[in-house]
Structure 1
């Protein structure tokens, strides 16, 4: 495992663990490495000193538990509170969002608060058809790195 110090253009610094440098590049280029603070996908490696093992036989350290950083300003606090409210009061349906929302809108299933993933063209179609949906200003914790 390789630990990288990462940063986004908005100035957020964080760490990520990857199987190899090639895996990091592949994940980053496909938009799967995102900033945990703002959700931005323009993430790159920050300069860092290499970790040199003291003993050749030493086992690699396990990745540390990700601590939730305290929000730095009023906007980050508001987004953090909104995320907590959405996640506590709705069901995450992942990539089934379009099907679930449409089934509720058409009366095939009982309505309930949900959040999930949708492709841009699907979201636009839903809005055009009058389904009450809106994008959230953050990624679900279930989709974060």
Structure 2
């Protein structure tokens, strides 16, 4: 496997893995390599820093499963705390966020669901939105 830093025509830099340099070239030339941010197909290799191994046989310690669980729990707790003052608007999220941005609706803190296309459209329109770091269960859908 080989990893490349790639750059789209929109200036987004992202990382992608390929079986070989030839596989990258083949997939790029057939339009199968696209930017994960804006879906642009104009892809080139970005400048990469060389991977220089550390001296000696020391490696940084990998996080323990307990540390990962603790970090995930902390993130979930903080997200839940932030959502206490937010209104669940379900699939009306994109429409409500756009209306607030345009001044057609009073500003409020909301969260809900949006398709990838809706989210991209909101970002392109300059509507300040961001995905939640942790998935949530919509009200009334919990077991």
TM-score (norm: length of structure 1): 0.46
TM-score (norm: length of structure 2): 0.47
Question: Bigger relative contact order, structure 1 or 2, given CA contacts below 8 A and separation 6+?
Answer: 1
